Each structure stands twice: as structure tokens, then as C-alpha cells.
Structure 1
Amino acid sequence: MTVTIKDVAKHAQVSPSTVSRVIADNPRISPKTKEKVKEVMESLGYHPNFQARNLVIQKSQTLGIIMENSAALAFQNPFFPEVLRGISAAAHKSQFGLYLSTGATEEEIFEEVVAMTLGKRVDGVILLYSKIGDRVMEYLKNSGVPFSVVGRPYAQAETISYVDNDNVQIAKEVTDYLIGLGHRHIAFVGGTADYVVSLDRLKGYQQALTDAGLPFIQEYIAERNPMQSDEEGAIRRLMELPIRPTAIVTHDDLVAYEVISYLEDMKLSVPEDVSVIGFNNHAISEHLKPPLSSVDISIYELGVQAANLALEKILDETAAVRKVTVPARLIERGSCQQL
């Protein structure tokens, strides 16, 4: 005889709607009630028919994951597999699947987001980036679709649930660290200028210089520009300045790898001639020669929290907007030295 949701409710002494909410992991149901209902489900051998349930309640049990560019490019950066690992772990606990964006251009990604939300292919969305004037974020905010963001929104952050590091503070601490090593000529090689994380880290770098009574020198700033793609030329110009930098803060470890490679081509050694530091603490960074000093931004935890924020909104429409700050810490290795 087939066990039904009513049988579970009867044995657990709760209503069938409570059993449904337990299955959906509704946050309004107490942990004690959830445990009791799940024990009854297990003892009776009840297995929810999620496909039938989803058709009835018009839910897909799926989170849409939107990357900043095509999947082919995104997965070249170790940040994305790691943040997806965190998202996947949190989604699995709530029995949600993932739907990854595959568009190759901004326009294709925007059209894909519209199609996946209007077509009810996903119950909510996680943006894995935050940039100035992003059409996708604006669309999601106006559409009423539950969503969260990895990164501080540039505008109206108080109306959007997001998870981030304190990028201003950690960039300040990194620059303070180099100043403490005796460096007074410190360059900053940032990411693409319209991404909020790039702006925040540049701001932290500037704050550290100001607090230390050091001048902000525009020539010491290099930003990545995908349209120009002249990173090597930018580094060469830095090192050909009349007073060249003795240390470089880079946007992330991938940028640091490129910078170190360009410096080697110029016959400059790290850290003997130039100290270099990155962000993200990729697994390979500690195996470089010299091992790269880097900031561990807890990428996995960023993913977990981003998923939790989106799921909160999906499971409870009245859930409050939340900001989650994930701690970051500097890992000192051999790519920086005392002057």
C-alpha cells in the first residue's frame, strides 16, 4: 500500500500542509517539528514525489547561476568552480538543482536570464558578480524574482540580499602590510573598472596610503581593460617610471601570475626587485616559486551564503533583505620581503 502525505501527517500528529512545508524546508517550521516529521517519513518509507509536487506548486526546485561572461571563460578562473562548490552544497541540502548561464556576451546572458525566469525554469537566481549599471541586476530587482548577489551592489545595496568580503578594509590591510615592510612606492593593478570589487579594493589601497601620509600617484595605477588587452605594456610602463614601484597589489592571483611573468621577462625578480601580493588564494599560489602572498577570501563560504540568501527568499517571500560579510585573511608567503 502506498504511503501518502496524509499518512505521514497522521502519524506525526501534524497537518498535511506542515508535512509539505517540512519537505520544502520552510524556515517557519521549527527544527523540532522538522526532525519529528522526517523521522516519521523514514519509518513509514515515504519518499516525496518532487516532480509531481513541483508541477502542482509550479516550482522548479532550481537555482539559476549567472556568471559574468561565458562559461568557457568563467571556468578558466578558479574562483568560479570553488564558489559553485559552495552553492551546490547549500542547494543540495534544500534539494535544489542548478541551472548555469551559457551566454557568451552580455546581451546573450541578459536574454537568457529573462527566458529562464519568465519560463519558470528557475525559482531564484544567484549573480556571481556585481558591476556598475548591470542590466541583469536591474531586471531581477524589478521582476520580483528571488535573487542574491556575490558582491556588493553598486546602487541601492540596502534593497538587495548579497554576500561579500569587506574589500575596502582587506585591501587597506594588504597595503598597510606592504607599508609595514618598508615599501613607500606601491602600485595597484586592478580588475576591470566597472566591477564593484575593483572599485572597493582601489578605495582601500588609497585609504592606506592616505593614513600613512603617502601620496596617491595615478601613474602607479593599472586597470585591466578587456577591450585593449595590453596588460604587459601596462606593467612595463609601471617599471619604467623614474621612481618605479617596489611592491604591487594585484586584483587577484591570476593577475599576480601574469604580473610575475611580465616581470621575469623584464629580468626583474620577485621579491628581490618587486614584492607582489594577490587575492583569492588559489590552490596553486602556495606552489609558485616564490610562493605567492595572497588574501584568502573564503570563496566556498561566499557560495554557501549566496545560496542560503536566495533560498530564504524562495521559501519565504516575506524574508528580510540581508547582507552577509564573509571574513578574509592575508596569507603571508615568499613573494613579499622587507626593504
Structure 2
Amino acid sequence: MVTIKDVAKLANVAPSTVSRVIANNPRISEKTKRRVREVMEELGYHPNFQARNLASKSSKSIGVIMPNSTYHAFQNPFFPEVLRGISMNAHENLFGIYLSTGSTEEEIHEEIVSMVQGRRVDGIVMLYSRVNDLSMRYLHECQFPFTVVGRPYENEDRVTFVDNDNIYITKQVTNYLIQLGHRDVAIIGGSKDFVVTLDRINGYKKALEEAGISFRPEYIVHEDSTKNSIKTAVTSLMALPSPPTGIVTMDDMVAYEATSHLEKLGLLVPHDISIVGFNNLMLSEHSKPPLTSVDTSTYELGYHAANCLIEKIKEPSMLAKRITIPTKFIERKSCAQRGTHNI
């Protein structure tokens, strides 16, 4: 059986140098790395990473926690894209990924506790921020490395997180509709359990206030990412005595479904009603009509969340940081000037 000492002897370096090459230590020259790797290939030497990780008490894996089961999460293209960013950074740093499979908040918490206590992962990326989240509080209290995609509900200055400025961008999106002449603007938000929903509603309210438009509670409806829920939200809005002429939706998937249900009610986008989405999914420019949307740089959210986590794993004393990922508003054909079409 070929050992690390055999590689070191043939490459004419110390065994410790071979170990550093395997770990891709930046202090080793590229010339030496190339020579050692050539010898490893020549001898057919494959590092036993599992044994190395056990010896160093490291799993070389990071846990990725979905807001619900992977089955439901992957129905929304946001999650595969944010996971692509996490995977890319993990690959660059030679880390594997462990996906959560819990379907309820309780199951997710039990899985996180198991990951931590069993040292199955070196750190955790949470792909959501929930109000009064038991799991986030647990990770913070036991000082286990973790980062969050989204603004934490509590301990914001002591938790590393990556997010968009959801208050600002929703304010801008709502302003866009107001500037098109829409004074009756509704918002279809996600679950009130998530901080992103609260932030976007906050931005929506700020836009109304600055424009001198009275806030109407009935113009805020929530959905749980199911078709029936979105249908109920749209139906309830359009049944109001003064139905909205513009709608801000939580993401493009909601906007697609809302557009479909509006058509069944005999209302066309943007002829009768304008609609805006978030996340700028791949199909948005090809939908009918092409959807006006906010590109939230989903891949970057995942990439930087993983990068911050791995930094924290390597340097536990690192202070918490907030990274704000810029967004881009993409104007297409799903919005129209009030009065141009809908009179």
C-alpha cells in the first residue's frame, strides 16, 4: 500500500510537505505542488480524507438548512440557484455539502442538533431567517459556526449573514408602480414567519407613506407557496370594493401563478393590472407577458454565505459581518402606465 512517506521520498520532499500539498496550502510553491501531485498520480496514491478529517476532528462538510423539505424547496428555482453558489464555494475550499431533509420546524431543529452534537458538519448555512427561530438561537448559544441567507430576527450584530436590502428594494419597486400612476397597490407576501416577508412589507409601507397614499391592510395578503393559496390571495384582492391596479409579489413564481389566476378572472396583465416579481427567474423574460422583476443575485447570496461560513470555520474568533448583495431592477412588459390600458 502506497503511503505518504513513499510519495515524499520519490518527490524528494518531507512528508509534511506532501500533507500541505494535499491541503492546498498557499505557502507551498506551485512548482512543488505540481511535482508532488505528479508523483501521487504516478504511484496511484489517494489521500484518505475521511481518516484525515477524523484525526483533525473535522468533517470537511457544511450543512445546508432548507426552510422546509428538499422536495418542496426544490420546486422553487431560488433554492437550486442559491445552492449552486454554495456548492461552488464549497468545492473551491474542498468542503462537501450535507442537505437537511426535515419537513417541519421541529424536524429541522432536531436535525441541526444532531449535526452539531454528532460533529457531522463543521458549520451550517441557513437558507432562511425565521421569526423567533429556535434553531438559530441554539446555534448562536452553543457558538457553532453558522451563516444565514437573510437578515436575522434577533442578534443581528452578532450573526454573520448575507442578504439583499429588502426594505429598500421593495420600496423602490412600489415607487415604480406609484410613478406609473397606480395608487391602489397590493402586495402578495410570503409567510409572516420569515423576516424577508416583514422587511418587504416594511419597504412597501414606506413607499406608500412617502407618496402620501393611505395604507390599506386589506391590500396585504399572504401565501404559503401553493397554487390554491395564491388563487385565494388573488381572488380576495380582486373582490375588494376598490381592487388594486398594481401588485408586488414575493417572487416570480407567485407572479406567474397570480397572472394565470387573473386571466381566469378575465383580467389581463398589464392591460388591466400591473405586476412585479422578485428573483428574476430564467423563465421571466419568456413569460407572457415578460415579467418585470428584481434580480436578487441568488447565486451570489449562496456563494458569499458559504465563503463567510468557511472563513468562520477556519478562524472561529472572526467577528460577525453583514454582506449586502446588490440587486438589479429589470423592467419588462408586465407593468403599464395607469390610464394607458386600465381606465
Q: For residue 187 of structure 1, what is the aligned residue in structure 2?
A: 186
What is the rounded CA distance, in whole Å, between the counterparts of 1:36 and 1:322 in structure 2? Answer: 36
Give deviations 1:298-326, integer Å, cap 9, x for gaps: 11111100101111111111222111111
Letter in 1 for 2:36: M
Contact 2:151 2:163 in 1 (8 A): yes
Give deviations 1:237-289, integer Å, cap 9, x for gaps: 21122222110000111111221122111100000000000001111111111
Alignment counterpart, residue 42 of structure 1, candidates 37, 56, 66: 37
Deviates more, 1:217-226 or 1:298-307: 217-226
Q: For residue 162 of structure 1, what is the aligned residue in structure 2?
A: 161
What is the rounded CA distance, in whole Å, between the counterparts of 1:316 and 1:42 in structure 2? Answer: 28
Q: Aligned-pair distance for 1:51?
A: 2.0
Secondary structure, aligned partner of 2:52: helix
Contact 1:24 1:315 in 2 (8 A): no
TM-score, length-normalised on structure 1?
Answer: 0.90
Q: For residue 281 of structure 1, what is the aligned residue in structure 2?
A: 280
TM-score, length-normalised on structure 2?
Answer: 0.89
Q: Aligned-pair distance for 1:19?
A: 7.2
Deviates more, 1:158-167 or 1:319-328: 319-328
Letter in 2 for 1:128: L
Contact 1:191 1:198 in 2 (8 A): yes
Q: Aligned-pair distance for 1:230?
A: 4.1
Secondary structure, aligned partner of 1:108: helix
Structure 1 segments (4+ residues) deviating >6 Å? 10-13
What is the rounded CA distance, in whole Å, between the counterparts of 2:335 and 2:5 in structure 1? Answer: 64
Secondary structure, aligned partner of 2:243: coil
Q: Aligned-pair distance for 1:118?
A: 0.8
Q: For residue 341 of structure 2, what is the aligned residue in structure 1?
A: none
What is the rounded CA distance, in whole Å, between the counterparts of 1:78 and 1:50 in structure 2? Answer: 33
Q: For residue 173 of structure 2, what is the aligned residue in structure 1?
A: 174
Q: For residue 77 of structure 1, what is the aligned residue in structure 2?
A: 76
Q: For residue 266 of structure 1, what is the aligned residue in structure 2?
A: 265
Q: For residue 66 of structure 2, what is the aligned residue in structure 1?
A: 67
- Identity over aligned pairs, percent: 52
Secondary structure, aligned partner of 1:330: strand
Letter in 2 for 1:222: V
Contact 1:11 1:40 in 2 (8 A): no
Letter in 2 for 1:42: R
Deviates more, 1:45-54 or 1:184-193: 45-54
- Note the aligned Cα RMSD (angstroms): 2.6
Contact 2:21 2:36 in 1 (8 A): no
Q: For residue 87 of structure 1, what is the aligned residue in structure 2?
A: 86
Which ranges in structure 2 are unaligned for 5 or more consecutive residues? 339-343
Secondary structure, aligned partner of 1:193: coil
Q: For residue 51 of structure 1, what is the aligned residue in structure 2?
A: 50
Contact 1:148 1:310 in 2 (8 A): yes
Q: Aligned-pair distance for 1:109?
A: 1.2
Give deviations 1:7-47, integer Å, cap 9, x for gaps: 49x9789x94x87567556xxx7x56575663453355376
Contact 2:7 2:36 in 1 (8 A): no
Contact 1:24 1:94 in 2 (8 A): no
Give the alignment of 1:149-298 within 5 angstroms. Answer: 149-224=148-223, 230-298=229-297
Q: For residue 98 of structure 1, what is the aligned residue in structure 2?
A: 97
What is the rounded CA distance, in whole Å, between the counterparts of 1:163 and 1:191 in structure 2? Answer: 19
Q: Aligned-pair distance for 1:233?
A: 2.9
Give deviations 1:125-176, integer Å, cap 9, x for gaps: 1101001011111111112211111100011111111100000111011111
What is the rounded CA distance, in whole Å, between the counterparts of 1:202 and 1:137 in structure 2? Answer: 23
Letter in 2 for 1:150: V
Distance change (3 Å), C-alpha of 1:230 and 1:56: closer
What is the rounded CA distance, in whole Å, between the counterparts of 1:320 and 1:19 in structure 2? Answer: 33
Secondary structure, aligned partner of 1:198: helix
Q: Aligned-pair distance for 1:205?
A: 0.9
Contact 1:293 1:331 in 2 (8 A): yes
Secondary structure, aligned partner of 1:283: coil
What is the rounded CA distance, in whole Å, between the counterparts of 2:18 and 2:158 in structure 1? Answer: 32
Letter in 2 for 1:125: I
Question: How many aligned residue pairs are there?
Answer: 332
Letter in 2 for 1:232: K
Contact 1:71 1:102 in 2 (8 A): yes
Which ranges in structure 1 are unaligned for 5 or more consecutive residues? none
Q: Aligned-pair distance for 1:207?
A: 1.0
Secondary structure, aligned partner of 2:283: helix
Distance change (3 Å), C-alpha of 1:21 and 1:176: farther
Contact 1:64 1:98 in 2 (8 A): yes
Distance change (3 Å), C-alpha of 1:151 and 1:289: same
